[in-house]
Amino acid sequence: MPCIMQFYQQELEQRGASMQTSQQWYLRLSQIVEWLQNGSKRGLLLTGNCGTGKSILLKSILHTLEFYNGKPLKTTYTGMALPVFFNAIDMSRDANVDGDAFHLVCKHYPVLAVDDVGTEPEVVKRFGMEATPIAELIYTRYEVQKPTIIATNLTMDELECRYGERAADRLYEMYERIVFDWSSFRRNS
């Protein structure tokens, strides 16, 4: 039966990368598995240095959820199989183009994963009005209490500075935080 580790290895193979881990990495993996099995919080926040495996783990978590769900994750809003994985830059661009669709995604996706939070423009213009899509995502997912996984290179202090105290407060309450605080695997290859 596949596990998160097998999906992680598949993601690495698709990138042409080799498996590099550390004792710290395995400890973080066990924290993720614990969250998947028994998590008391609805969200998972993977934060830390570049190149430490957060993005690959994020995708591996989604593959694991789909495997154990027996089918692709779907939005309950449309009933269609849609991507549940977004890059923060793309999500902000999409929110700028179609704010209504963005809010439907935030409210109705059963599981939502957003990678590279903090790399997107902080503010976008929507019909001449300023919007902050990632902060809006945090507020909406908090409101509907649906599982959300975020990967970022920002610390909690940097997230608070960028998205505000209100968003950070929700992150503290709703998200299990796992910190990847070692040097990049990319630099060691």
Select from 9, 106, 22 the least CA-distant residue to 64. 9
Predicted TM-score (pTM) of the model is 0.83
Residue reference for tokens 């996706």: 109
Output Rg (C-alpha) for the chain, integer angstroms.
16
DSSP secondary structure letters along 42-54? SEEEEEE-TTSSH
Coil, helix or strand at residue 113: strand
CATH assignment of 44-49+61-181, among 2.40.30.10, 3.40.190.290, 3.40.50.300, 1.10.3720.10: 3.40.50.300
Q: What per-residue confidence (pLDDT) applies to 72?
A: 53
Phi-psi region of 53 (alpha: psi -120 to 50; beta: other; left: phi over 0): left
Q: What per-residue confidence (pLDDT) applies to 82?
A: 46
Tokens (6 digits) for 144: 């509907």
Helices and strands in the chain: count of H runs, count of E runs: 8, 7
At 48-82, the pLDDT tens digits run: 988 888 888 888 888 888 777 665 554 444 444 44
Q: What per-residue confidence (pLDDT) applies to 97?
A: 66
Q: What per-residue confidence (pLDDT) applies to 57?
A: 87
Domain residue ranges of the chain, discontinuous segments joined by + = 44-49+61-181
Regions of the chain with pLDDT less than 70: 1-2, 19-21, 69-83, 95-97, 99, 188-189
54, exposed or middle or buried, with CB in 10 Å at 0-12, 13-18, 19+? Answer: buried
Q: What per-residue confidence (pLDDT) applies to 75?
A: 45
